[in-house]
Amino acid sequence: MQPIANRMLNYLQPQMYAKFTMLANQKGCINLGQGFPNFPSPQMIRDALSEEAQTESLQYTMTSGHPKLLHSASKFFEQQIGCKINVDKEIMVSSGAQAVLSCVMQGVLNPGDEVILFDPAFDLYRPMIEFQGARHIGIPIIPKKLNNKQEIIKRFKDGKFQYSQDDDWELDFNYLERVINKKTKLLLLNSPMNPIGKVFSTEEYNQLADILDKHPQVVVCEDAAYHHITFGKYQPFNYPRCITHPRLKDRTVCVTSAGKMYSSTGLRVGFAVGNEEIIKGIKAAQTYHIFCLNPVIQTATAKCLDQTLDGKYFQSVKNLYEEQANMLLKGLVESRLNMNYWVPQGGYFKYFDDNGNRLTRDFAFAYYMINEFGVVCIPCSPYYENKQLGQNYVRWAFCKTTETIQEAINRLK
C-alpha cells in the first residue's frame, strides 16, 4: 500500500533550509543561510500580543480576517503604497504569506493551467503549483555583468556601499512572449526578489503590460514580502509595483507579510490585496483551508500597523539592513573567498557565484563552507527550473546581529 499521494513523493525529505539549519546546529556554524532575523522582535509586537491576549475574544473571526486588522491594514496600505482598498471586497488575511499564496493557487488555478515564474524563483512556488495540477514555466533573469572584488571595493565610500542606479539583472521579454499562451493563467513575480534582490522597474512593467494586454485571462500575483526593505534609490514600500501600475493593477493580487515587516517570522500573518473578482476566489479557498486566523494575533498586528503608520519604524529597519549589508559585503570581499557579487536592491540576501567546476557546485560549495569555515550559505539551484543555470550561485542572509555577521567574517578571513 502507498498511503502518500504521488504529488507529495518528491517532497518528503526536509526542506533545504531545514537541512542546512540542522547542519549548522550540529557543527556549531554561523548560520547566514535561512532568512530569519536572529535579533529580538520589536517590543511593540510583544506588548500588543500581551495586551490583546487579555481582552480579545478567542472565538472564530471572519474568514477574510478580523475587522480590526482589515481596517488597519487597508489604512496602512493606502498610506504607504497608495492603494485605496474596499475592506469588504479587496483584502483578506491568512496564516502568513505562504498560506496566502496557497489560497491564491487554489483560488485561481485549474488542472492543466500554466504559471510563469521568473527564475531564480522562491522554491516554495513550484510545489504549490504542482499540487493544483498546474504546470510551471521558469523564465531566467540573467545577470548583465560580473561584479568582482575589485569592482565592489571601488563602490565603497567612507565605509558605505554606493548603490548603482542601474539594475544588474535583465529579463528576456522576447522569451516571455514566446512561452505565454492561452493556457497561461497566472504570472507570479517577486519584487524585491528572493534570492537576488532585484526590483522590477517601471519600464519592465510597461513591457510586461504590453504583452499581457494580448492575454486577458492572465492573473498577476505580486509577492511583495520584502516591500519594506529596499535600498539605494528606493524607499520602503515606495518603488515600482504591479498593484499600483495603471495597466496591471486590475489583474494583480499583491501578497505581503506582517511577519517579515516586523522581523517576527513566527507571527504568521499575511495579506492579499487586489481586484474583487480575484480576492473572491482566494477567500473561498481560505474557507476550506484554515477557515480563519487566530484573533489575538490579528488584533495585535492591527495595533502595530496603527503605531507604525507614519513609516518611521520602517525607515529604521531599512537603515539597519543597509548597515548589516555593508558589513557583510565588506567582510566577504576582504575574505579568502574569490567571488563575484550581486548587491540587492531589496530584501535581505546577497548573491554571488563560486566559479567551481563540480556538478551541482552550489551544494558542493555550501557543504565545503560548512565543513571548512563553519559558515552556512544557501545553494540556489532549487530556485531554478533549469538547475544548471542556478548551480553557480549561493545566497547569504544579512538579517542577523552585528555579532553574528562579525563572527562569520572572522571565520572567513
Tell me: the pLDDT tens digits for 157-215? 887 888 876 778 889 999 999 999 999 999 999 999 999 999 999 999 999 999 999 99
The proportion of the chain whose per-residue pLDDT surpasses 90, expressed as a percent, equals 74
Higher pLDDT, 13 or 73: 73
Q: Are 21 and 377 in contact (CB under 8 A)?
A: no
Give the pLDDT confidence score for residue 161 in this predicted structure.
85
pLDDT tens sequence across 244-288:
999 999 999 999 999 999 999 999 999 999 999 999 999 999 999
Average pLDDT value over all residues in the chain:
92
Alpha helices in 110-231 (DSSP H): 125-131, 149-154, 173-179, 202-212
DSSP 253: E
Give the pLDDT confidence score for residue 355 in this predicted structure.
45
pLDDT tens sequence across 217-243:
999 999 999 999 999 889 999 999 999
Which domains, and CATH codes, for the chain?
Answer: 13-41+313-412 (3.90.1150.10), 45-310 (3.40.640.10)
Q: How do strand 375-376 and strand 156-157 relate by DSSP bridges?
A: unpaired
Sheet strands side by side (includes 219-223)? 91-94, 270-274, 252-257, 219-223, 184-190, 114-119, 135-143, 169-171
Secondary structure of residue 19 in the 3-state scheme: helix
The proportion of the chain whose per-residue pLDDT surpasses 70, expressed as a percent, equals 96
Higher pLDDT, 347 or 75: 75
Determine the average pLDDT of the residues in 335-352.
Answer: 78
Whole-prediction pTM: 0.93
pLDDT tens sequence across 29-83:
999 988 889 999 999 999 999 999 999 999 999 999 999 999 999 999 999 999 9
Closest-CA residue to 274 (of 85, 65, 82, 67): 85
Give the pLDDT confidence score for residue 350 in this predicted structure.
58
